[in-house]
Chain A
Amino acid sequence: MKRSRIFYVNLAFTLLVCAFLIVPIFLSMLAGVTVNFFQGIKSGLTLSWVIEVWSLYADTIFLSLLIAVACLICNLLIGVPAAYVLARKSGRVARMIEETLVLPIAIPGLAIALALIVTYGGIREFRLSWLFILVGHVLYTLPFMIRSVLAVLSSFDFRTLEEGAASLGAGFWKRFRTIIIPNCRAGILAGSLMVVTLSVGEFNLTWMLHTPLTKTLPVGLADSYASMRLEIGSAYTLVFLIMILPLLIALQLYGRPRAAKTTISDPE
């Protein structure tokens, strides 16, 4: 099939946009393994920057992982049940609660962080612990988990399934466990991937909430960009990219259960 000229113009434009997004990533990864970036690739390749990053910043990587896992657990414990209630109730109060729960997406992280600091900054133990950062991450990621589960719940008629189970004698908690949770798996998975990815990369809130002893990966990144040579910043970025790459790929594979569902059951 012969393509029109306009097809190729469009294709060229799309490739240009892709290059704009991908070339800097590639450059940064390359700089992280180059002996001297100023002299260029001919100065040789090395892993010594990456090793140096590991010795300087390994603790930030572990703290970020710890917070991401804790954040996910909090989301599963409080977000999934909330999404179910919001899917059950269609009244004004339920919509108002939903609006409130997704507010942290609409309000910049900086404002949320300031609010937390002026309210709880005085409680020393709390302010100095990583739990202070965790609170911020849970607020910020919760809307994504709730929306993801809510999207799946609104794509099939879970009430009919529940009524069937109820008529067979299943109680409330049994139905929640054996019908709602298993049917929401796709949404919970997509939400979980989003939560972990966002938590690992969160900076806006974390920069305000962190202390010298509770530095996460993105905080360390900002630190290295400001005070280390370009190669170290690049190597650190490389480590970060390698960490979130599996998450991003998984997100592309499982991240949009809603689209798949709605095309089958909901022509709207």
Chain B
Amino acid sequence: MKHSEYPRLILLMLPVAIVFLAFFLLPMARLILIGGSGENGFSEYLSIFHTPRHFESLVSTVLLSAAVTIAAVIISAVTGVFLERNRFPGREVLISMLTFPLAFPGVVIGFLVIMLAGRQGLANEISQALTGSRLVFAYSMAGLFTGYLYFSIPRVILTIMAAAEKLDPALEEAARSLGASRWQVIRDVILPALKPALIASGAIAFATAMGAFGTAFTLATNIDVLPMTIYTEFTLNANFATAAALSIVLGTITWLALYISRSIAGSTVAAAA
């Protein structure tokens, strides 16, 4: 029955193949070509290292994304393992709250940061009441960090909780009964077992932060993160070749981050995210 079914399987695959070819593969190929169609030719792709403004934008985006990733993974690991390990009233509500913002668009998260750290924000009011000084950081790097952290935590926590669920408590008991301290158990038993999930979720957080446009669009009016640089080059400067080359570079970085994490951590974990 196998061989006679080949044509039908191909028929089922055909619609998706046509859509993808026409609207994804072909446009992507064209974008790559356009990236090399400027006056610099294909060396436009290296311009990100030669043009100081682009290079700074790349470096600050990578640093910001890396910082957000590390913070999100640490925060999510602590809360994720805690919520998976302990049963108490209200636990389900807390889990819902932590994963609730998962589907928020970046612009809304940018606005929430304005609510927290803008001129009329909560941070400013608390600071005025306590110390009398103003505290407004929504439109700075700290504001971007806050926003990126906001959308990273739910993504990371889901993956880590799924992995923490599979931890074997017997191993920890064994370690403890052999005299291991609390920190030794965390370092030698829990962390190694969570490692694939930490890597996979970290890569997702990093890739999302690198490509985040909505949050930056709301907050980074004065900050050059790579998506904003691409947007400016495309819409304001009508510099299509540069915008195309930069977005191909950006896409390659995010794809590589996810690809590398999957080859280290295994595809099962990444697929769970």
Contact = CB atoms under 8 A, between A and B. Distances in A.
B251 A81 contact: no
A10 B182 CA distance: 14
Given A20-B150, A24-B113, A234-B111, 12 more contacts: A11-B86, A24-B115, A82-B16, A88-B9, A107-B211, A114-B247, A115-B30, A139-B19, A142-B16, A151-B271, A204-B106, A221-B105
Nearest to A216: B105
A110 B227 contact: yes
Contacts of A82: 12-13, 15-16
A77 to B, nearest CB: 7
A123 interface: no
A225 B110 contact: yes
Given A10-B82, A38-B120, A142-B16, A118 B105 contact: no
Secondary structure of the A side of the interface? helix
Contacts of A142: 16
Nearest to A84: B12
B213 to A, nearest CB: 4
Can you list the 6 inter-chain pairs with the closest CB atoms, starting with the nearest? A108-B211, A115-B27, A24-B112, A111-B247, A81-B12, A119-B27
Contact of A13 (B24, B78, B114): B78
Contacts of B162: 259
Given A109-B213, A111-B247, A118-B34, A203 B258 contact: no
Given A78-B16, A147-B271, A172 B255 contact: no
B19 A78 contact: yes
Interface of A: 6-7, 10-11, 13-15, 17-18, 20-25, 27-28, 31, 37-38, 74, 77-79, 81-82, 84-85, 88-89, 97, 100-101, 103-112, 114-116, 118-120, 135, 138-139, 142, 147, 151, 163, 166, 172-173, 176, 197-198, 201-204, 207, 218, 221-222, 225, 230, 233-234, 237, 240, 244, 247-248, 251-252, 258-259
Interface string B88-111: 100000101111111111111011
B9 A89 contact: yes
A13 B182 CA distance: 18
A217 to B, nearest CB: 9
A61 B56 CA distance: 38
18 contacts: A17-B75, A17-B79, A21-B97, A27-B116, A106-B207, A106-B255, A107-B28, A111-B31, A111-B211, A114-B31, A114-B230, A114-B234, A118-B240, A202-B105, A203-B214, A203-B217, A248-B102, A258-B272
B136 interface: no
A203 B107 contact: yes
A120 B113 CA distance: 36
B154 interface: yes
B49 interface: no
Interface string B210-249: 1111100110000000010011001000001001100110
A247 B255 contact: no
Contacts of B25: 100
Contacts of A240: 108
B164 interface: no
B250 interface: yes
Interface string B40-80: 00000000000000000000000000000000000100110
A139 to B, nearest CB: 5
B254 A107 contact: yes
A21 B100 contact: yes
Given A114-B244, A258-B272, A218 B13 contact: no
B23 A139 contact: yes
Contact of B103 (A14, A97, A247): A247
Given A114-B234, A172-B8, A230-B120, A108 B16 contact: no
Contact of A118 (B31, B153, B227): B31
Given A21-B97, A114-B243, A108 B12 contact: no
A157 B228 CA distance: 47
